[in-house]
């Protein structure tokens, strides 16, 4: 179907942080399948875990329990701390759908509306899309069967005005990934937590893109010492295998009754084995510290580049955006690929960089050295465009 257009590159194989296309061209992967391939491509720990599990038990459905999903739930709860339970799904959208049903199930009578952020992104299915504040993808599929009120991302005053004792839940991201890696102001999550405590609304935190080490912490909210009522995860959790998770804390751990929700493939043994390998490898190789160090190197060098197309950079850890001075992101993405680098034009004026967490200083240095030339070429391409 034409919803993806015609992708310009056909990838065939990957190794570490490098991928190759069908013509044999090599690229440095600086987007990692949209912050998914945490360990890069072909990592032995991930390969071995998947092969071993696939040859043992590949699927059970939700009619039976298996060892890997119990181990993974225990690991996640151990990393998060506190009284929690986990529901496993197959994607970020499904994790947010589970969260949406969970908070509705837990809500007291009289609570009937939700609050989410402008330009936020929570998924493409109708429930998650109802919470997504991007008009271009949301409006064609309305109306929606729920009342969602949108406020500016990071604006605690606007959020406070929008949330009262009739609000079911507040859905936010610590940093808006699909809006262009836009962090919330410092202290915002603590403010959301205090507001939800005061009004009784549930605090749902979407860490689908920021979780599992992407920012240099296991979970971005841990940097602010804040805990939500419900946490959603996916992307980097499986390192390339499809898995999502909805974590409920406290009373939200047991809000579902038997039969309230389910997934045939959720908690699949192979996907859970992959996620365990990702967590083990991040822990064993101290990749959180590595992410913080590499993120600092990347930010420092980006700030030093003086170019008319580059306004700055933002983000944390290995989750960054090049801030451009105009709507030139598509040209930057195209010219980067010509020179062997995969980046993502996430917004007209922002280019997302989210490489595998295992990227080396030498690999980052190659990209940083090439970036001024990429920007020059993008500027030249922009000047050749016909003017409206």
Give CA–CA dist 143/165, Å, rounded: 25
What are the backbone dihedrals phi and psi of residue 186, each rounded to the nearest 5 degrees, phi first? -60, 135
Closest CA to 353 of 315, 303, 383, 386: 315
**Please, what is the angle between helix 269-284 and helix 287-304, to 10°?**
70
**What is 116-172 written as a DSSP string?**
EETT----SSHHHHHT---HHHHGGG---SSEEEEE-TT-HHHHHHH--TTEEEEEE
The order of strands in the sheet holding 113-117 is 84-89, 244-249, 230-233, 202-206, 167-172, 113-117, 147-151
* N-term to C-term CA, the chain: 30
Catalytic residue among 206, 249, 256, 349: 206
- Our answer to whether residue 206 is catalytic in this structure is yes
Residue 153 is encoded by which pair of tokens?
């991302």
Give CA–CA dist 126/282, Å, rounded: 34
Residue with tokens 């959020």: 159
What number of other Cβ atoms are within 10 A of residue 369's Cβ?
10
Positive/negative CA dihedral, 364, 368, 373, 374: positive
Catalytic residue among 219, 235, 249, 349: 235
Interior/surface letters 63-93, b for 16+ CB within 10 angstroms, e for the rest: eeebebbeebbebbbeebeeebbbbbbbbbb
**How long is the chain?**
388
- Residue 2 is classified by DSSP as G
- Residue 34 is classified by DSSP as H
Are 25 and 13 within 8 A, CB to CB?
no
Catalytic residue among 88, 114, 121, 256: 121
For 82, 159, 311, the CA distances from 118, given in Å and listed in that order, are 31, 11, 23
- Our answer to whether residue 252 is catalytic in this structure is no
The set of catalytic residues is 121, 206, 235
């Amino acid at each position: 179907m034409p919803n993806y257009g015609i992708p310009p590159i056909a990838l065939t194989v990957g190794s570490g942080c490098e991928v190759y296309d069908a013509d044999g061209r090599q690229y440095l992967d600086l987007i990692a399948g949209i912050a998914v391939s945490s360990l890069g491509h072909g990592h032995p720990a991930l390969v071995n875990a998947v092969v071993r599990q696939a040859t043992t038990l590949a699927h059970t459905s939700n009619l039976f329990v298996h060892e890997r999903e119990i181990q993974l739930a225990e690991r996640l709860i151990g990393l998060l701390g506190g009284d929690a339970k986990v529901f496993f799904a197959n994607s970020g959208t499904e994790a947010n759908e589970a969260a949406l049903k969970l908070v509705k199930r837990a809500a007291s009578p009289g609570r009937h509306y939700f609050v989410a952020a402008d330009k936020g992104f929570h998924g493409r299915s109708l429930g998650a899309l109802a919470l997504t504040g991007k008009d271009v993808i949301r409006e064609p599929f309305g109306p929606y069967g729920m009342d969602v009120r949108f406020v500016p991302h990071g604006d605690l005053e606007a959020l406070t005005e929008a949330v009262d004792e009739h609000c079911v839940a507040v859905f936010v991201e610590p940093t808006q990934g699909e809006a262009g890696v836009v962090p919330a102001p410092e202290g915002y999550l603590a403010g959301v937590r205090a507001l939800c405590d005061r009004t009784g609304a549930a605090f749902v935190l979407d860490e689908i893109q920021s979780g599992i080490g992407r920012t240099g912490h296991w979970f971005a909210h841990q940097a602010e010492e804040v805990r939500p009522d419900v946490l959603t995860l996916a992307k980097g959790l499986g390192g390339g295998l499809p898995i999502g998770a909805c974590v409920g804390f406290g009373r939200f751990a047991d809000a579902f009754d038997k039969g309230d929700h389910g997934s045939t493939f959720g908690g699949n043994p192979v996907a859970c084995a992959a996620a365990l390998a990702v967590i083990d490898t991040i822990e064993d190789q101290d990749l959180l510290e590595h992410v913080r160090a590499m993120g600092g190197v990347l930010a420092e060098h980006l700030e030093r580049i003086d170019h008319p197309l580059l306004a700055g950079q933002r983000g944390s850890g290995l989750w960054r955006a090049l801030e451009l001075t105009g709507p030139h992101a598509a040209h930057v993405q195209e010219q980067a690929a010509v020179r062997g680098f995969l980046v993502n034009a996430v917004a007209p004026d922002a280019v997302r960089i989210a490489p595998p967490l295992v990227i080396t200083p030498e690999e980052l240095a190659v990209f940083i050295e090439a970036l001024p030339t990429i920007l020059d070429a993008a500027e030249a391409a922009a000047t050749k465009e016909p003017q409206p």
